[in-house]
Structure 1
Amino acid sequence: MQSSSKVQQLYRRWTVLLNSLQEDPKVAQVMNSRIGQYLSSHPFVALSLTLFSAMAAVPFGLFFTFALVTVVMAAVGFVFFEAFLLFVGGLTLLCVLSGIGVFAVLVAVIINVLYMTSSRLMSCYNPKQTERSLSQEDSDGETSAGTQ
């Protein structure tokens, strides 16, 4: 006896739910359209369409999630790849600039050594030239000291 009363209560709840669903303005608008009238007159097609929609939601949701994750991963991967390329480019620039700096210092040292060596050799082989340049410097220093 209790099972029949529970079934009747369930039936009443189900009927109330269906009535509230049919009274919804959006549902009423769909049911008044040609498609809604066709589905009302062909319940097997309506059931098939409902089952297909319900069963297709899971694969569609999985595919949509896969596509979204793929796009996000591609964007993140692109950002990481760009950061890696910038890092490699910066490191290459640092190495090239360091090499240019070392080369510039080395060339400056070589030029200074050549200048010092050539000036020493000239002073050894041509002492008069160096005496003249020293005497000119002394006379320039005396004249500048006398003008002050």
Structure 2
Amino acid sequence: MGRLAALLLLLAPALACGHIPHDLWHLTWRHARAWGVDPYLVAAVVWVESGYCPQAVGWAGEVGLGQFMPGTWTRTTGAPPEWRAHPEWALWATAKHLRELYLATGDWRKALAAYNAGLGAVRSGRIPASTERYVERVLRVYRGFLRGGG
């Protein structure tokens, strides 16, 4: 697969939707606050992960707004993997998972890296360059949300 094709495959969810519907914005805030996470940070993660497209599917089998793999989904929620595409469950799980990763690492940058590469990679100090870029992208989107108010 060529680079352009791979890039389009990765960007397809964002190109397909590319906006945050009011109801999903409201749910993001509700679940982020319930888990004690900055709503703009949850929104930034969801934006980078899926472009707020509930039907998004990643190249490795990640599904939904938060792009959860089946195992991570089950550990985080206890719900069946097929629920990953349900927007409210996905936003709840994204906020919960971010909170758990922050509690495990004590640092939001590390929590974001763990969201992308896994807690094991962060704990071992073997964070891929792609994950470093992911963290920077989430933080750029986060700062944009802060400036623009969503």
Instruction: Provide TM-score, normalisation by structure 2.
Output: 0.24
Where relative contact order (Cα < 8 A, 6+ residues apart) is larger, the structure is: 2
Instruction: Provide TM-score, normalisation by structure 1.
Output: 0.24
Query: By percentage of residues, which structure has more helix?
Result: 1
